[in-house]
């Protein structure tokens, strides 16, 4: 009995001593991410080059980091997309992760409340210089002159093109699609396309997907240098520029030059089955479409190309967003900080691997590299990193704004609301939302 008690006491003392040591020199870091859970397939993979897709690549990357840094306790928490409800809850409870994935458009919501660490010094320690980021990525993570995230990519809308149907419509030159150079030309080409193929020029995801119309609106407003947000509290949508963008898409809809009533899966299915010429959707679809394009017997086989949005007005421009790694404010030991420095360095060094997802790299050196150019279609879409711009960093609640604007302009494009009324309502609703921000 006495012996048992002695063993118990010794074990307890060891535990206490061990935990004391841990609290001072703790190097364990706790990372939270979305992109899904795919441990079943990639749980043990450390060869990043062998992984595919967002989930596979990020899982393999973290496995590799773990394997290379065995002295760092590395805990990864995968949350349901996009994970902001959990993050807000964790912050409210005073227990946020050390590092977390965040859309660049969301950074303002947290940074403006003082919930994120500025990363300038820790990135400098890791040897990462903001001037090495692409222009789009740098703007995406910079707020008030400070960097609040390690940019991980640039994500934006692209014109995914069925070149076989384009050829049938006589819209190919030297093996490349002829994209329109103005709104009038777009209408002309779309009508010609429909007459030649019997199919709509556009395939659009318009149901439950406000981002589709908002991406168009923001991109073409940026092209015309419209100050969409004159200040942090106001949006300006009742402009001739916004009106003519909506008028164009209303005409396309009214003349049946686009698919109607499709949600995202339906629109993807339509594009894969060759039911239309252009599918404006994101960088993340390059991989699946390319796979179809290289599969014999599929409607898209040898018939796929992809480009940034064409310049219809003003200059070439595109609204973009991106993913970033941010550090919520919390106390950290020097050892944890050193571990995070190592992780930042590792992530930056593997930006190319991430670009295999279809997203554009956040580093100029990667985008200019031959190995990036060797990936399918990447030279065609690389200009997006140069012409892409996010909304101004001062604008908060960008996700909610997208929902409000998307709802109103979808009504205008569908013809259920006059364009002027839709723009006025969108402006009023967004301004009411922004007025609530302190």
Interface with another protein (CB under 8 A), residue from 22, 28, 36, 120: 36
Find where tokens 């040591």 sit.
21
Q: Does 109 bind another protein (CB under 8 A)?
A: no
Interface with another protein (CB under 8 A), residue from 1, 5, 18, 92: 92
Q: Does 54 bind another protein (CB under 8 A)?
A: yes
Cα angle: 360, vertex 365, 371; to 5 degrees? 70
By C-beta, is 107 or 272 nearer to another protein?
272
Half-sphere exposure (Cβ direction) of 406: Cα atoms closer than 13 Å: 18
Q: Is beta strand 29-33 parallel, antiparallel or unpaired with respect to 99-103?
A: parallel
Residues 6+ apart with CB under 8 A from 152: 101, 322, 323, 324, 325, 347, 351, 354, 359, 362
Q: Does 106 bind another protein (CB under 8 A)?
A: no
By C-beta, is 100 or 246 nearer to another protein?
100
Stretch of 65-73, 79-87, 139-147, 306-314 contacting another protein, by CB under 8 A: 79-87
CB of 171 closer than 8 Å to CB of 177 = yes
Q: Does 41 bind another protein (CB under 8 A)?
A: yes
Closest approach of another protein to the CB of residue 198, in Å:
19
CB of 116 closer than 8 Å to CB of 107 = yes
Whether the bond into 151 is cis, omega within 30 of 0: no
By C-beta, is 189 or 336 nearer to another protein?
336
Closest approach of another protein to the CB of residue 228, in Å:
25
Closest approach of another protein to the CB of residue 77, in Å:
5
Q: Does 58 bind another protein (CB under 8 A)?
A: no
Residue 27, SS3 per DSSP: coil
CA dist 97 and 24 (Å) reads 18
Closest approach of another protein to the CB of residue 85, in Å:
6
| Residue 225 CA from chain centroid, whole number | 23
Stretch of 83-91, 118-126, 132-140, 393-401 contacting another protein, by CB under 8 A: 83-91
Closest approach of another protein to the CB of residue 334, in Å:
25
Q: How far is CA 123 from CA 61, 100, 343, in A?
A: 19, 15, 10
Interface with another protein (CB under 8 A), residue from 132, 167, 172, 284: 284
**Which one, of 265, 289, 280, lies nearest residue 318 by Cα?**
280
Q: Does 43 bind another protein (CB under 8 A)?
A: yes
Interface with another protein (CB under 8 A), residue from 37, 120, 135, 407: 37
Question: Contact letters (x/-) for another protein, 241-280, by CB under 8 A?
Answer: -----------------------xx--xx--xx-------
- CA dihedral 289→291→292→296, nearest 10 degrees, is 160
Binding site for another protein (CB under 8 A): 34-41, 43, 53-55, 77-82, 85-86, 88-90, 92-95, 264-265, 268-269, 272-273, 284, 288
């Amino acid at each position: 009995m006495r012996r048992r008690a002695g063993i118990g006491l010794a074990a307890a003392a060891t535990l206490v001593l061990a935990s004391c040591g841990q609290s001072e020199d703790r190097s364990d870091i706790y990372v939270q991410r979305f992109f899904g859970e795919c441990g079943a397939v990639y749980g043990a993979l450390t060869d990043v080059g062998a992984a595919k897709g967002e989930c596979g690549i990020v899982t393999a990357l973290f496995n590799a980091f773990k394997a290379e840094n065995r002295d760092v306790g590395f805990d990864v928490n995968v949350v349901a997309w996009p994970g902001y409800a959990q993050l807000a809850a964790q912050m409210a409870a005073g227990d946020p992760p050390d590092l977390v994935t965040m859309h660049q458009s969301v950074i303002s919501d947290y940074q403006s409340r003082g919930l994120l660490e500025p990363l300038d010094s820790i990135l400098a320690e890791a040897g990462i210089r903001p001037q090495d980021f692409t222009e789009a990525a740098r703007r995406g993570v910079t707020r008030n002159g400070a960097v609040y995230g390690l940019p991980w990519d640039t994500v934006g809308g692209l014109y995914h093109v069925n070149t076989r149907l384009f050829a049938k419509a006589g819209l190919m030159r030297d093996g490349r699609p002829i994209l329109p150079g103005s709104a009038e030309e777009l209408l002309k080409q779309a009508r010609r396309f429909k007459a030649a193929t019997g199919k709509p020029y556009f395939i659009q995801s318009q149901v439950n997907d406000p981002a589709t119309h908002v991406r168009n609106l923001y991109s073409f407003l940026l092209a015309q240098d419209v100050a969409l947000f004159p200040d942090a509290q106001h949006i300006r949508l009742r402009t001739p520029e916004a009106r003519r963008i909506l008028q164009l898409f209303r005409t396309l809809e009214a003349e049946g030059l686009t698919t109607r009533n499709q949600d995202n899966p339906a629109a993807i299915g339509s594009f894969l089955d060759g039911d239309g010429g252009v599918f404006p959707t994101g960088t993340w679809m390059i991989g699946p479409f390319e796979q179809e394009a290289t599969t014999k017997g599929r409607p898209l086989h040898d018939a796929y190309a992809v480009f940034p949005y064409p310049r219809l007005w003003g200059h070439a421009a595109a609204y973009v967003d991106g993913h970033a790694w941010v550090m919520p404010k919390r106390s950290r030991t020097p050892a944890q900080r050193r571990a995070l420095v190592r992780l930042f360095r590792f992530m930056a060094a593997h930006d190319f691997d991430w670009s295999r997802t279809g997203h554009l790299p956040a580093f100029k050196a990667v985008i200019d590299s031959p190995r990036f150019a060797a990936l399918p279609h990447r030279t065609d879409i690389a200009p997006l990193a140069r012409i892409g711009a996010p909304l101004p960093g001062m604008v908060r609640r960008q996700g909610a704004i997208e929902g409000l604007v998307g709802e109103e302009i979808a009504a205008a494009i569908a013809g259920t609301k006059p364009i002027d009324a839709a723009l006025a309502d969108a402006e009023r609703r967004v301004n009411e939302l922004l007025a609530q921000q302190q």
